[in-house]
């Protein structure tokens, strides 16, 4: 059997049908998708995924947290080759983020099983229960269960906005939080995740597939600038300690350093608030967030430090205070070079345009990497870079190329 046959096997209308079917579960009443872990639309989507697999004669396994696996047992007792992505969506998100990788995994498995039968290594696809943390601050819940990284008692200590604990939400979906440790897997050798790019690079360059060499480091900090409240009429410009003006200078400095850091590095101030927040009072305090990302740890550390120092200096020069508080730190994750090479070889041999790139967003892949699993990702273009939005869209042609690359990759890894 030729290694290139899989291209012709991914049928456009089947792909379109799967996307359409999944979009039924959790359609947001206004626009987009809202399929949140341990809710009825999420249960229905997991059931539909199982039904698809069962219809292909693929064995379905649900783990303790609700991750759904489709398993094609291999001929040899070798580590599993796993593919898939998450089945949950962002709040009022789109049809593609996560979902497309889950569908791609199912279609790759189905195609390979139909045409090549039993693999050498066990080949599995997965619908990961929760990546977006749209309901709970659950921080890659599904992938952490697989990686054995959930702390004891964690499910009891995280609550949704209605005060329901994650543990109770699991029970309401028929899952037993006491069994979480059983979800841990130590028999997965490789994970390949297909995902939308969530950025404009592939579209801008007219390339069908991104081969992800690293997932960025992400650092988020909460910053506080403390000046002094003054009467907006009574206080002359030169007597002010205006926290808004200082924050504006900081934002300009952060943006300028982000440009100096260069692509794929980025820095974002996404939230800003002034206190007391009255038009006629010079702001005493401003809160803002900084999100700094770069896939190279040394570059990331250097520029994160330069940004903090710039803010400190701006505050000090005005006799003001600057404080920062770490909200989140996710280290960078390099892809496994051998897996990367297999993907590149597959795309190349299939005549599919690709480029190596880094991921500016976090993914389940980085969590499985922490369990020592070999990994790499395949990106497909996001129209206009849209993501976490009802506007998410990837052209069917690009999707087919992405799934073909995935299928060929899995073939080379598992057969």
Which residues ranging from 176 to 195 are in contact with a second copy (CB under 8 A)?
none
Q: Which stretch binds a second copy (CB under 8 A): 117-125, 164-172, 224-232, 296-304?
A: 224-232
- Pick from 127, 274, 369, 377 the residue near a second copy by CB under 8 A: 274
Using rule CB under 8 A, residue 251 touches a second copy:
yes
Which residues ranging from 294 to 333 are in contact with a second copy (CB under 8 A)?
327-328
Please count the other Cβ atoms lying within 10 Å of the Cβ belonging to residue 117: 11
Residue 103 sits at φ, ψ, to 5 deg, of -65, -45
Using rule CB under 8 A, residue 259 touches a second copy:
yes
H or E, element range at 39:
none
Q: Looking at beta carbons only, is 235 or 308 nearer to a second copy? A: 235
Left, alpha or beta for 356 (phi > 0: left; psi -120 to 50: alpha)?
A: beta
- Pick from 78, 232, 306, 308 the residue near a second copy by CB under 8 A: 232
| Residue from 394, 413, 33, 412 nearest 195 by CA | 394
Identify whether the C-beta of residue 212 lies closer than 8 Å to the C-beta of residue 378: yes
State the pairing for strand pair 281-282/333-334: unpaired
Q: Looking at beta carbons only, is 120 or 259 nearer to a second copy? A: 259
Identify whether the C-beta of residue 68 lies closer than 8 Å to the C-beta of residue 50: yes
- Pick from 79, 148, 200, 331 the residue near a second copy by CB under 8 A: 200
Applying CB under 8 A, the site for a second copy has a residue count of: 67
Residue 195 sits at φ, ψ, to 5 deg, of -155, 155
Using rule CB under 8 A, residue 249 touches a second copy:
yes
**Complete DSSP assignment for 185-251:** -S-EEEEEEEEE-SSSHHHHHT-SEEEEEEEPEEEEEEEEEE---EETTTS-GGG---HHHHHHHHH
Quick check: helix, strand or coil at residue 282?
A: strand
CA distances from 143 to 214, 365, 397 (A): 18, 8, 29
Quick check: helix, strand or coil at residue 62?
A: strand
Identify whether the C-beta of residue 226 lies closer than 8 Å to the C-beta of residue 325: no
Mark 386-405 with x for binding to a second copy (rule: CB under 8 A) and - for no binding. -xxx----------------
Closest CB 375 distance from a second copy, rounded Å: 18
Using rule CB under 8 A, residue 242 touches a second copy:
yes
Using rule CB under 8 A, residue 285 touches a second copy:
no
Q: Which stretch binds a second copy (CB under 8 A): 20-28, 142-150, 289-297, 335-343?
A: 289-297
Residue 128, both tokens: 């990961």
Q: Looking at beta carbons only, is 249 or 364 nearer to a second copy? A: 249
Residue 6, both tokens: 């899989």
- Pick from 75, 120, 137, 204 the residue near a second copy by CB under 8 A: 204
Q: Which stretch binds a second copy (CB under 8 A): 34-42, 157-165, 250-258, 316-324?
A: 250-258
Q: For residue 252, how far is the Cα from the chain centroid?
A: 28
Using rule CB under 8 A, residue 89 touches a second copy:
no
Residues that bind a second copy (CB under 8 A): 197-201, 204, 216, 218, 220, 229-239, 242, 244-245, 247-249, 251-252, 255, 258-259, 263-274, 276-283, 286, 289-291, 293, 327-328, 359-362, 382, 385, 387-389
């Amino acid at each position: 059997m030729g290694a290139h046959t899989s291209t012709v096997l991914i049928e456009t209308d089947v792909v379109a049908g799967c996307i359409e079917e999944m979009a039924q579960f959790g359609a947001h009443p206004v626009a987009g998708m809202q399929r949140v872990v341990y809710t009825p639309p999420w249960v229905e989507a997991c059931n539909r995924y199982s039904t698809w697999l069962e219809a292909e004669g693929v064995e379905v396994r649900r783990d303790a947290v609700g991750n759904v696996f489709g398993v094609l047992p291999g001929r040899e007792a070798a580590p599993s080759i796993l593919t898939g992505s998450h089945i949950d969506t962002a709040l009022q998100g789109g049809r593609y983020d996560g979902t497309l990788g889950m569908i791609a995994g199912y279609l790759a498995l189905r195609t390979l099983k139909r045409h090549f039968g039993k693999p050498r290594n066990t080949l599995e696809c997965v619908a990961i229960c929760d990546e977006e943390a749209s309901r709970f601050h659950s921080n890659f819940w599904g992938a952490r269960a697989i990686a054995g990284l959930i702390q004891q008692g964690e499910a009891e200590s995280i609550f949704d906005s209605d005060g329901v604990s994650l543990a109770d939400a699991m029970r309401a979906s028929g899952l037993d939080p006491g069994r979480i440790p059983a979800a841990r897997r130590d028999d997965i050798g490789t994970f390949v995740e297909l995902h939308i790019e969530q950025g404009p690079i592939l579209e801008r360059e007219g390339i069908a597939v991104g081969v992800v060499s690293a997932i960025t480091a992400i650092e988020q900090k909460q910053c506080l600038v403390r000046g002094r409240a003054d009467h907006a009429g009574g206080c002359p410009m030169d007597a002010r300690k205006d926290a808004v003006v200082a924050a504006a200078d900081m934002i300009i400095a952060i943006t300028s350093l982000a440009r100096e850091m260069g692509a794929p590095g980025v820095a974002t101030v996404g939230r800003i608030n002034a206190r007391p927040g009255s038009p006629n009072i010079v702001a005493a305090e401003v809160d803002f967030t900084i999100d700094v990302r770069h896939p190279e740890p040394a570059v990331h550390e250097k520029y994160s430090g330069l940004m903090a120092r710039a803010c400190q200096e701006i505050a000090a020069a005005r006799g003001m205070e600057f404080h920062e508080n770490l909200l989140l730190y996710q280290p960078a994750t390099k892809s496994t070079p051998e897996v990367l090479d297999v993907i590149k070889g597959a795309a190349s041999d299939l005549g599919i345009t690709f480029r190596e790139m880094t991921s500016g967003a976090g993914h389940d892949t980085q969590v499985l990497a922490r369990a020592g699993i070999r990994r790499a990702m395949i990106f497909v273009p996001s129209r206009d870079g849209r993501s976490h939005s009802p506007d998410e869209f990837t052209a069917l042609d690009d999707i087919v190329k992405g799934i073909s690359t995935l299928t060929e990759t899995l073939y080379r890894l598992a057969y």
